[in-house]
Structure 1
Amino acid sequence: MKMNWNGLTATALGLALVSGAVAAVAAPDRGGSTAAAQKRADRRMAGAREAMARGVPAAAVRQAEAAVIQAPRDPQARAMLGRAYLAAGRFQSAETALGDALALDPTLVRVAINRALAQIALGRADEAATALDALRGTGNDADVGLALALLGRPDEARPLLLAAARAPGADARVRQNLAFALALEGRWNEAATIAAQDVPLDLVADRLRRWAAVGQLRADPARQVGAMLGVLPVADGGQPAALALVAEPASRAPVLLAQVAPPPAPPLPFVVPPPVLLPVEAQAPVLPAVIPVVMAGEPRIAAFAGPPVMRLGRSVTQQRGQARPRPAIVPAEGPIMLVSRGVKDRSPAKWVVQIGAYSTPVRTEIAWTALSRRAAFLADYTPTGSGFRHRGAMLHRLSIGGLASRTQAHRLCGRIRAVGGHCFIRTDGGDRPMQWTLRTRIVEPA
């Protein structure tokens, strides 16, 4: 089944390939697999990512299951398997695989968000609410707020989404998540006003109709989550038993041999030495003991549940052959300001770091994924690019835009070269976020 990745909201690359970022920063335990087995597992995970990019979740599931067989204690392989199950509409298997990934590495925040989505689809609202409450303040308020709105807790979701939308650097994904949550509350004027900031005006009405269709599925959480993610729920018997996570065997305690105590030595004669008196001026002053204070560093939390995507289609209540009504969009009484008042200069930055140019958009994502595994700092940037023709062939640039100065661009390019990447500096040429960042990131491991 070819999946429809377009539509409901956009995604930021901050979600991007969390697994690569975690591996580069913290170097987690990949499960003790042999080097050859781990290399085979990495190839399978790359194949799963490519299948997800092509919209073929069944192939992604096969590749991810093979990766888990090769490296059963690799949290990134388990997270990729859960993401593939979500894309295939297998929510029970997804919840199990994502739970196994968290058991191996509890710091995978976006994996926890994806698991909460699977729990909502399975009707386990209490477990999902507990998990989402624990994820507040981890830097993923836009995704946590959206999941809370889907859970039917708008009063808790709205403040999180408003704060995320007003934060400096908020992107289209955050604003569209806010608009979607307002639509679920029935606040259509505000939802339309915010959606129009990033969606062409002639497409806003269609977007609102699709959001209304998702809201009408509240009584069927599996179909509602599936509609938001753009997948069709299927009958799921659960993850194969061969892929079950087996607890690591406890190490055997060493066997202690009995030892015979040596006979006690004869007591030494008690001799009291004569006291030695020093003059008062020669005695050293007694200084207070200094106790060193060791401050533990704050653990760094990795940043794929990702924003929703749903299928284009008729409204639930629309009959075949009937024209779809276009709801009138009544402008709000006043504009909703989503940028802090202190920001005055809204002109786009003009410096760009170009990483390469590729024949297809899929190859740009693969290149970004490979580079992100070596350069964890790229999780803070959104990949951009533009198309151009060279000798009759269409090429696709892969770049990082939005850099305020040439010095900042040179510094970022130097960091990329330090991990073995290639790049050069140029001015902005109309680069926009890559199309594959606009689909739901059922966050990866990443």
Structure 2
Amino acid sequence: MITRQDCEVRDQEDPLFELRHQFDLPPGINYLDGNSLGVLPRATAARVQEVIAREWGMDLIKSWNTAGWIDLPRKVGNKIARLVGAGPDELVTADSTSVNLYKVLHAAAQISKADAPGRRVIVSERSNFPTDLYIAESVARQHGFTLKLVDTVDEIPAALNAELAILMLTEVNYRTGYRHDMKALTAASHAAGALVIWDLAHSAGALPVDLKGADADFAVGCGYKYLNGGPGAPAFVWSHPRHAERFWQPLSGWMGHAAPFQFTPDYRPAAGITRYQCGTPAILALSALECGVDTLLAAEPMGGMDALRKKSVALTEAFIALAEARCGEQGVRLSSPRDANQRGSQVCLSLAAPLHEAGYAVVKALIARGVIGDYRAGDPQRLDEFPHILRFGFTPLYTRFVDVWDAIEHLHQVLQTEEWREPRFNQQDAVT
């Protein structure tokens, strides 16, 4: 079995280890929740303070020009594009993931109705992140489409039929960490005559993404997870250039206008991806997001996303091996794919009966010990298929191999001592 000394050696030999110093990591905290909220980059506080004190405080409205505020959505978007295989000026930062998904779903529905009017089905996974399903349900109703949800990955091929208009998937499933084959599924969908929308919330900044190489149609993604942009950071939206100018996006705000400062009463959409902006950009949040994206770009001289992915696989493999060796007899089960090629940068564990309802309390007990993961409730009627999940994210920029070892040791102790039974760990918080 892997020892803590083995992990210390791997950290010493890790060429990416120096990137950890880009972050303010609280002492005594073993943070394995970067898939929900990334750690604060050290550069962020100073940069945001500069925007507040000098650009806003001293230069005031002039900073839209002198500090380049007006260009930030495209500037930060071009940096993210380097991480997800998009071209220059094809991706823009704006709004939230939910809002951007609404934009591209609406655009895809319009394209489908124009090119293949007989198609009226949007397909996604029942286990997709709920906001994606809620937005898809709304768009389906507006356009006279039907939202069809598949229960398993194996059901997707049969759904790629003559009725399909849009396949909408999150590349890395938030519950299980399952990683879809973007290129293969996009090709199969196109062969069936359908469009594909990818949510990159759990893949952008965590693993290599190649939107253009996969010939994807649309993509959206999150700024506050692996991109380290801070709570509520702006999201991003991408359209393949062949689609970008075919239709208006539905939220035709002034920042998506071809000439917003001409203040004309009629709307003329801007060229390309710029039309996917809507209202005034959030400059403080965008400035923080840029700092977060820069922490990932710092890895480019060391191999970039390929190097980060290699370390991510090593971290998750070590975590799985230790979890099964130390906690398998205590009922811990792997709920993520065992094959690293089918797994994102997270590992999900579940507890076998009679402990299958104890997951929330176990996670709270771990948090009290300084090991930060999170919990996602399953389906009480179908726990064999959709169990309660103890979820752990691995961010190669700052997660160490000793963090993996320590986390499993704490998990072993929480289960062995039944510490999770304490009443304080069984009180439900608003956010899990």
Question: Taking structure 1 as the reference length, what is the TM-score of the superposition?
Answer: 0.27
Higher relative contact order (CA 8 A, sep 6+): 1
Question: Taking structure 2 as the reference length, what is the TM-score of the superposition?
Answer: 0.27
Structure holding more strand per residue: 2
